[in-house]
Structure 1
């Protein structure tokens, strides 16, 4: 914020001054000097500036023994809000967002500032050139997490990588087939142990160099070098052979019928061999990164993209932690903030019933009553999927008995009795001890409070432990239970096998080594099976989870968003996010 506002807030909040809004209060230069942390000479200069800008009324004392008087002409909230609007008007988004961060203890002001911020989100056309610049601004309720393909673990970051980078092939969920991308053709031998990929020519990375097969080879080697949590999936690759600049051959130790799935997933995002991705993310995708820090990610259209250039010229994604309940907004200036609703009149509506669900994890790394099966069975009833959907509603669309909605639909649903849960609690040996439930502030508040209330009705003492960042291993290590949400990739079989064996996710963090080994053994030959056999293995894995209450399924979600009618080219990318490479705005 500007210097005058900073000085004013120091004075207005100084306890030793006890200044009052619209009330003359006696002060001394010495006390003002202490509050402002400056010399008495500078105090007079600052007071003159504050009076000129109508922050205060200053009445200097006349003669010895007469105190000066100061009157605050603005409340602290007014000063903050005016400063915020001024920053927004000058395009200083970073400073404005930092100012929002300073209002955490003032919910009413914070809400007003967030509403003002949301009005600045959406499409903007800047006359920065003869043709103008089309810019889309978005806001996110948490900071950007890992954006390294070797370690990415969250849906939004995986989606972003798909806008900045590319893979050899892509999975088409509508047809269940694989399509060419950086590779225009591929072939394999009869036993699926030798795979050959032929690359497009002339594909350029964002730093200008042409992509070759050497980059593909280096991408795979990097997964091994950095010990990526995905490396288990690629353990069958014995060696790779570069056959010129535009052909690469993979030799496998055993047949692999899942190999195309592995080369279309985010971990095999092709990176340049001559750039350190930890310092600068360079890809071949439709957008390139201009700026990235904890406050903002700015990406711009890559004019040399090998596909169709995006219609948008730039996308600014601002990160405002603790923004509030998680919603997706794609707004235009001058419109009200669009929230999820059942009335879609006047807006384009996009529904994305996500593959995946909300669920509860049991932390087996921590000792406690939750190791008893009867206790987990009691929690299964407290976290009843039917009651969850019926009582909380919103975009919780159907009860879950699996990560897969079509499997949950086969279940004969009925609501369980909390009295049965009370009996199971007693049988488990529970005698009123505190159970810590961890949840993310932005998404899980309603479920957490709902669970606490239901638990209390049968004598279960649940203490809520909110956290912001995901995952936060330190904070959640003290929790007995964790509310989580998993949205699977369009290639749902890859999504599930990655969930079961990825060492970076909460599922792996919460399971004991013995339980982890159960899953690794069950999936030992997963990659060698055909599609039907793989589905059967995944069903068996979910049966283990369900029968032992190692996780408790909650509900399936609809990632619905409302968009202004001026937005066109609406296509969903993975996880239900808008494919911004296809968005365009119809100027009225």
Structure 2
């Protein structure tokens, strides 16, 4: 299948077409001369007839030899028959009418489903479609929940945090002295990395030292760490110069997956101990294969194939599985932890530095008035602390007048390719413009923009969300302290210094209740200065395969046991 030809036919699905070369320049990313050469090659193959337009204003003409709907269906059937996932996803991504796919609904759903046979030789395979490319699998760099879960399949931490409790993982036991300044972890014996190397305390020490190097010795989780000792192959001791009651909880975070640093080529291609290992990786596919030597329970699933495709149809009309599948998918409304928010860029020397302007934006963002809202209006990070905020466009107008606002432009960025975020961004822009607040909406992607300097250098406000893996006190600490997240990137140096003092105060508190009170104080400082404006605590509608319906984490393939 020639993908360039199919892109052409998706643009011109009828038998004949009049067109300008610029139309094909944009879909093929070619110059006009290159477009002409490609069309002439297609003509030589007998696929079409090309008649160039001569002179300014004269359109070129194409005449195709085949009926594209029939050709498309034939290629789709062939991709399904040969189990060619790349071609199948390419065809599904083409901007074609939904009814062209109707005859293939059940077969496509069957393809992207669990494969299970009664024979011992056939592996159990899960195929999943990802809506965007994987940006990074570096444990210290990831800022996306799905990538966090993928890392958790590939590696393990010393301990894990589940159901509000720290439990052993690579360490079978750990202790702390009365001052919380000496933490000792006792390691499991016989744990192997994916390359067959046996894990010892040396690999644990090297991992932590590498992470300290990547994040900096002043990172809030390391600032009091003064020594790491390995008295034996299966014992490691961390010594601190100040009490760190949460130190073991820190080590349950995914950034602390233990790696074979000596044999690591890059932080992106690390070697872990996890239940799955990567056996294929490209821009369009990630293949995970079970680790037969995993120290814990062997996963029931043998292989996970993740395919990247921009498929809004995949989760809406075409792939509502209960319309045609004989598998009893469960439909759930889930409230997601954390919150969505707008953050102001305090490093930009623009009108956003004016607190009255930021407060006016706060008043504009009245989520109770947003009819397409998917969530509960938020005023704090945790939903249990939120109260419905009272906002007013009249007050926003008054604030603009008080600020002597002269129509300066404010650049607002929201995620591209996601209908809900785009809709919200447009609503905010229209609502602001209606009262004379000039907001210009632009878009960004995780894969191209988030990890670059684009947002910090060029954008005044960003609409985004933070979804923690665990809804506990460390979730908020990570939200305000993680260098990959926007609070650490958008606040000025002076503001970050003040925030760091409050974080140290948070860490020093002797009880969970006292730490919660300190979190509220930090949150109040961020929101009362209008650096951070919460929008909603999100909810989502999901279809869950019965194999995963009791799995708390959407992508924890290790704990899926039965069909």
TM category, shorter = 0.7 to 0.9
2:188 to 179, 192, 200: 200
2:535 to 533, 544, 554: 554
Tell me the residue number matched to 1:428.
403
SS in 2 for 1:133: coil
1:529 to 509, 519, 524: 509
Of 413-422 and 148-157, deviating more is 413-422
2:525 to 544, 565, 581: 544
The answer as to whether partners of 2:190 and 2:199 remain within 8 angstroms in 1 is yes
1:161 to 151, 162, 173: 151
Matches within 5 A, 1:4-15: none
**Cα 1:447–1:234 shift into 2, 3 Å:** same
Tell me the residue number matched to 2:302.
313
Of 121-130 and 365-374, deviating more is 121-130
**Cα 1:43–1:230 shift into 2, 3 Å:** farther
Q: How many Å separate the matches in 2 of 1:362 and 1:534?
A: 26
The answer as to whether partners of 1:355 and 1:492 remain within 8 angstroms in 2 is no
Q: How many Å separate the matches in 1 of 2:278 and 2:218?
A: 24
Tell me the residue number matched to 2:57.
none
TM-score, reference length from structure 2 = 0.83
SS in 1 for 2:133: coil
Tell me the residue number matched to 1:272.
260
The answer as to whether partners of 2:150 and 2:555 remain within 8 angstroms in 1 is no
Q: Deviations over 1:448-479 (max 9, x none)?
A: 11112212322223221012226154442322
SS in 2 for 1:444: helix
**Cα 1:482–1:239 shift into 2, 3 Å:** same
The yes-or-no answer on 1:403 pairing with 2:381 is yes
Of 119-128 and 351-360, deviating more is 119-128
The yes-or-no answer on 1:93 pairing with 2:85 is yes
> How far has the Cα of 1:138 moved from its partner?
1.0
Matches within 5 A, 1:339-418: 347-388=329-370, 391-393=371-373, 395-396=374-375, 398-408=376-386, 411=387, 413=388, 415-418=390-393
Tell me the residue number matched to 1:63.
none
**Cα 1:375–1:9 shift into 2, 3 Å:** closer
> How far has the Cα of 1:351 moved from its partner?
4.7
1:210 to 184, 194, 198: 198
Q: Deviations over 1:148-178 (max 9, x none)?
A: 11222221111111111111111123xx221
The answer as to whether partners of 1:171 and 1:491 remain within 8 angstroms in 2 is no
Tell me the residue number matched to 2:141.
151
2:109 to 111, 116, 119: 119
TM-score, reference length from structure 1 = 0.80
1:21 to 10, 15, 20: 15
**Cα 1:472–1:288 shift into 2, 3 Å:** closer
Matches within 5 A, 1:184-199: 184-199=172-187
> How far has the Cα of 1:9 moved from its partner?
7.2
The answer as to whether partners of 2:244 and 2:508 remain within 8 angstroms in 1 is yes
Tell me the residue number matched to 1:243.
231
SS in 2 for 1:558: strand
SS in 2 for 1:310: coil
Please say which structure displays the higher CA radius of gyration: 1
Tell me the residue number matched to 2:274.
285
Q: How many Å separate the matches in 1 of 2:307 and 2:218?
A: 29
Tell me the residue number matched to 1:332.
none
The yes-or-no answer on 1:504 pairing with 2:484 is yes
SS in 2 for 1:191: coil
| CA RMSD of superposed structures (Å) | 3.7
- Number of equivalent positions: 527
**Cα 1:549–1:444 shift into 2, 3 Å:** same
> How far has the Cα of 1:184 moved from its partner?
0.8
> How far has the Cα of 1:541 moved from its partner?
0.7
Q: How many Å separate the matches in 2 of 1:11 and 1:146?
A: 34
Q: How many Å separate the matches in 1 of 2:141 and 2:10?
A: 47
Q: How many Å separate the matches in 1 of 2:79 and 2:521?
A: 56
The answer as to whether partners of 1:151 and 1:228 remain within 8 angstroms in 2 is no
Note the residue ranges of structure 2 that are not aligned, 5 or more in a row.
Answer: 18-32, 51-60
2:427 to 432, 445, 450: 450
Q: How many Å separate the matches in 2 of 1:236 and 1:111?
A: 62
> How far has the Cα of 1:191 moved from its partner?
0.9
The answer as to whether partners of 1:121 and 1:138 remain within 8 angstroms in 2 is no
Q: How many Å separate the matches in 2 of 1:379 and 1:325?
A: 34
